[in-house]
Amino acid sequence: MKRVFSGIQPTGEIHIGNYLGAIRNWAKIGDQIGKEAIFCIVDYHAITIPHDASSLPRLTFEAALANMAAGLDPNKITLFAQSHVREHVELGWVFTTQTPLGDLERMTQFKDKSEQHSILSGLLMYPVLQAADILLYKADTVPVGEDQVQHIELTREIARRFNYRFASPEAPIFPEPKASIDTGAARVPGLDGAGKMSKSKNNTIGVLEPKDTIWQNIRVAPTDPQRIRRTDPGNPEVCVMFAYHKLFSNSDTVQMVDTECRRAGIGCVDCKKLLMENIWQTLEPIQAKAEYLREHPSEVTDALVSGADFCRTIAQDTMQEVRQAIGLLPLDSRRP
């Protein structure tokens, strides 16, 4: 791992799927490689579905704040907003011109989102901009949840195609980055038990959500549908609460819940109360940090400014190479 890049959309509240599937690993990687761990709030991606211009600046700030509260320390790692480094869009355009339409139309995320929203061309081009994000920094590793793996595969394809067309095999311009997945939390399920936790599905536990709202949502969340009465034995394998215990509780608790649920030794309400306490143990310090950052907003904005400064230098070097490789006339070509 020499350089790592990953991103998150500022489209709403950051949830425990984002935290466990991605941000928590980003913080660990930062401990190993410092500034070369680059994390981005991808605001240009957020406008590929209809958005409210008046709330986007706040959402971008909030996303940065939540990431910092959840463990990203801008004194160690690099954190920035995508639109502050314009080269993302420039490389995105170059890759757009080189990417077959069919590659984009078969992306699962595009198919899902185009059912929910009117199709803007930006939604189709979304993975091309994502490839530009990663390749602009020649990152070798991309820590993400499982839902992003297809996009990273396409990124590899885009890098390979670009190298083949515009560079020599001995001196490729772009590396082929690898996705890195936390197998324990690659696909955190939603509270409704109907698939992965996702902002668009309204089935989230927000990292910065108040304790009582989290509890209200957990309290009414479905468990094993076969377990109707308190005395019915349950099957933890089909219960989202058990999946969450595996993510938040220690192994003794997980073992106890597993055994006691199966023999109706513990009821769903008690199981949920125990879970709530363990979730809160993780979220409480994050929320305390978020509160501190809200009182010191310049710590967030300063981090974004210096993050963008660091990234711009790398991005400009890459773009110079790319412009030359694809045959653009240098701006200073009239000078001797």
Catalytic residues: 113, 196, 199
Shortest reach from residue 131's CB to ligand TYM, in Å? 8
Within 256-285, the residues that bind ligand TYM by CB under 6 A are none
Residue 197 CB partners (closer than 8 Å, separation 6+): 15, 16, 17, 188, 189, 190, 191, 203, 204, 205
Q: Which position among 86, 113, 178, 187 is part of the footprint of ligand TYM (CB under 6 A)? A: 187
Segment contacting ligand TYM (CB under 6 A): 5-13, 266-274, 295-303, 312-320?
5-13
Shortest reach from residue 91's CB to ligand TYM, in Å? 12
Tell me: does residue 318 bind ligand TYM (CB under 6 A): no
Tell me: does residue 196 bind ligand TYM (CB under 6 A): yes
Burial 221-236 (b: 16+ CB within 10 A, else e): bebbeebeeeeeebeb
Tell me: does residue 197 bind ligand TYM (CB under 6 A): yes
Based on CB atoms, which residue is closest to ligand TYM, 51 or 262? 51
* CA dist list (Å): 127 to 16, 99, 109, 156: 24, 10, 9, 11
Residue pair 201/192 in contact (Cβ under 8 Å)? The answer is yes
CA distance 77 to 6: 12
Residue pair 136/87 in contact (Cβ under 8 Å)? The answer is yes
Based on CB atoms, which residue is closest to ligand TYM, 238 or 264? 238
Token duo for residue 254: 């997980």
Shortest reach from residue 5's CB to ligand TYM, in Å? 6
Give the sheet arrangement for strand 178-180, strand by strand. 78-81, 37-41, 4-8, 141-143, 178-180
Tell me: does residue 9 bind ligand TYM (CB under 6 A): yes
Shortest reach from residue 13's CB to ligand TYM, in Å? 11
Based on CB atoms, which residue is closest to ligand TYM, 44 or 166? 44
- Quick note: the x/- pattern for ligand TYM over 145-174, rule CB under 6 A, is x-xx--x-----------------------
Residue type, 136: L
Residue with tokens 């694809």: 326
Among residues 113, 106, 95, which one has the least CA distance to residue 326? Answer: 95
Residue pair 303/79 in contact (Cβ under 8 Å)? The answer is yes
Among residues 225, 244, 224, 38, which one has the least CA distance to residue 141? Answer: 38
Based on CB atoms, which residue is closest to ligand TYM, 200 or 226? 200
CA distance 61 to 22: 19
CA distance 130 to 186: 19
- Quick note: the x/- pattern for ligand TYM over 72-111, rule CB under 6 A, is ----------------------------------------
- Quick note: the x/- pattern for ligand TYM over 110-139, rule CB under 6 A, is --------------------x--xx-----
Tell me: does residue 24 bind ligand TYM (CB under 6 A): no
Tell me: does residue 7 bind ligand TYM (CB under 6 A): yes
Tell me: does residue 221 bind ligand TYM (CB under 6 A): no
Binding site for ligand TYM (CB under 6 A): 5-9, 17-18, 21-22, 42, 45, 130, 133-134, 142, 144-145, 147-148, 151, 185-188, 196-198
